[in-house]
A and B are shown apart, each in its own frame.
Chain A
Amino acid sequence: MIDHAVLEAAADEVVLDVDVRARFGDFDLQARFTAPGGLTALFGRSGVGKTSLINLLAGLARPIAGHIRVGDVALFDAAASIDLPPEKRRVGYVFQDGRLFPHLNVSRNLTYGMNRVPPAERHHGFAQAVELLELGGLLERRPAGLSGGEKQRVAIGRALLASPRLLLMDEPLSALDAARKNEIMPFIERLRDEMRVPIVYVSHALDDVVRLADIMVILSDGRVVASGEVEDVMSRLDLRPLTGRYEAGAVLAAVVIGDDRESELTELSFGAGNLWVPSLDLPRGAPLRVRIRARDVSLSLSKPEDSSVLNIFRGTVISVEDSDGPYADVLINIGAPLIARITRKSLNRLAIGPGKTVYASVKASAIDRRSVGLGGTRRRRH
């Protein structure tokens, strides 16, 4: 079902090792997680301590106990009395509100951090960052004259040029509308895939997490309640209250097999089966993740022979959990975990329970571009 050998191999190369305890007023934060490189999403509702946690990583707030390590460097270690100030941590931070320096033009904003890094230790060239983030036309402009999307691109470039060991992004897209968001997403993907900067990305939007993250850490009320690969975490029924009931759904890691241009569809393989989705316009072999919402999956006991649904999978029920209202969520193993939300009435009528063989139907139209994330885990696995 999931390639555990590779998972463990990936877990061996721990890049980020966090085990901290901190107090913010009466708010008690205790967080422990590790992550390999790539993009780690800190997910949770607002007020659960996501920003507080990355402020600890950046050194803008101080834990009362524990340690924070990036690679082999300890940024904080209470036992060893290590507490590097923010300027010594080399942890880049892209703030939710950009925080560009209003008195400096874009070019000088970009070089602010870069100039404090000795040339020999710089990972990224100015020209390279400007090209990657398409900032060429903005260099002489003042932050006040930039659009929201442009500001965030400059903020990302500024953090990147400081050659960080770790890049923190605090909901960098939340202040942007959908169009601007789609404008920035590819840049973050390129940062992750081409620049190979380990990123911790704070978000409360599941779509963003599925699209960008390899590892997902769920925070609730100042505690880490789950952490692991996005596909694994998302297939856990017990986390639905935290991921949002309406948003519940499984995530499949897949690769592109090919396009059917005539019918405008793309065929994906997730190892145990194939999935037809609306055309994605991606090259053959491109690794991606697809989120299939539970409410878009229906079940039947025999294979529907004359159905309009393109994606029908045979599987075994693993567990059933009551959901809110008249629904129940059914976790099915189709070679990968899939979650279906059906009414309790149907559940009883079809006598669905653990061990039962069922056919799960997923309409291709239920999967849109927002449910698909490029690259990430699969790319590292193969």
Chain B
Amino acid sequence: MNLSLTPIEVEALALSIKVAFAAVVVSLPFGVGVAWLLARREFPGKILLDGLVHLPLIVPPVVVGYLLLVLLGRKGPLGAWLFDVFGVTVAFTWKGAAVASGVMAFPLIVRAIRLSIESVDRGLEAAARTLGAGPVLVFATITLPLIVPGILTGTILGFARSLGEFGATITFVSNIPGETQTLPLALYSVVQTPDSDAAAMRLVVISVVLALAALLASEMVARRVRRRIGR
């Protein structure tokens, strides 16, 4: 078995990483914001927001993909606006794949960060206030550093979820090699063709190695962070 990757495999691998990375990086600030709202604020419609955030976790991914297509397709209300104002098309592009992955990963990111915020001793924040720091500064200098482990967990969960995203992606942006064909989609295509066991196995190995590498890297970072914040 040839150990070097074929151009198609390299393409799928690179695309997967790019999509997952973009999905997580863009989701993260929103994830922190929503997690903070849910953990710390009482407001009308909180239950609704909570439900909406968790929706991708409970409905079939195809449903999410289809809704995204309706909303963000060229003729969809949001998609048309994006194109008119920014000239951006997400449907059937890698950006769309990132949006699909991000939406699917969002509940996991929010859950991890929310738990982390809820575990921060509010007494520490009160102490910082009495020491002259306003709410924004308190968040930046006390809350945020203390929830870094939660943010990391959310990032890893979101990244892993994005790497494995299939249903919403294929529904929303289809399966276009080099544009939207991430590893799971490539594997799906290969499995469809006869006598492709070896090719499929290669993609499986690549997927497993990628996932394990991500997990290991996160574990190492998490350990260092935990030591730094004195836990």
Contacts and interface: CB of A to CB of B under 8 A. Distances in A.
A88 B128 CA distance: 12
A228 interface: no
Contact of A99 (B127, B146, B231): B127
Given A142-B230, A143-B230, A144-B230, A99 B124 contact: yes
B57 interface: no
A22 to B, nearest CB: 16
A85 B132 contact: no
B130 A112 contact: no
Given A99-B123, A102-B146, A112 B131 contact: yes
A103 interface: yes
B230 A93 contact: no
B221 to A, nearest CB: 16
Nearest to A89: B130
A90 interface: yes
Most chain B beta carbons < 10 A, residue from A86, A117, A159: A86
Which one of A87, A91, A158 has the greatest number of beta carbons of chain B within 10 Å?
A87
A130 interface: no
Given A60-B130, A101-B128, A112-B131, A95 B146 contact: no
Contact of B127 (A59, A95, A117): A95
Contacts of B127: 93, 95, 99, 101
Nearest to A117: B132
Contacts of B230: 102-103, 142-144
B10 interface: no
Nearest to A99: B127
Contacts, number: 68
Interface string B84-126: 0000000000000000000000000000000000000101101
A51 to B, nearest CB: 12
Nearest to A108: B141
A102 B132 contact: no
B51 interface: no
Given A99-B123, A99-B124, A102-B230, A116 B132 contact: yes
B145 interface: yes
Contact of A113 (B132, B146, B228, B229): B132
A58 B231 contact: no
A87 B133 contact: yes
A162 interface: yes
A101 B126 CA distance: 11
B60 interface: no
B123 to A, nearest CB: 5
Given A99-B124, A102-B229, A102-B230, A158 B131 contact: yes
Contacts of B131: 87, 92, 112-113, 116, 158-159, 162
B223 interface: no
A170 to B, nearest CB: 11
Contacts of B229: 102-103
B126 A60 contact: yes
Nearest to B127: A99
B129 interface: yes
B231 A87 contact: no
Given A102-B231, A103-B229, A86 B130 contact: yes
Contacts of B141: 112
Contact of B130 (A92, A101, A142, A144): A92
Interface in B120-155: 121, 123-124, 126-134, 141-142, 145-146
A267 interface: no
A58 B130 CA distance: 7
A113 B130 CA distance: 8
Contacts of B126: 60, 86, 99
Contacts of A159: 130-131
B132 A87 contact: yes
A296 interface: no
A144 B132 contact: no
Contacts of A247: none
A86 B123 contact: no
Contacts of A93: 127, 130
A193 interface: no
Contacts of B145: 103
A97 B123 contact: yes
Interface of A: 58-60, 85-93, 95, 97, 99, 101-103, 112-113, 116-117, 142-144, 158-159, 162
Interface of B: 121, 123-124, 126-134, 141-142, 145-146, 228-231
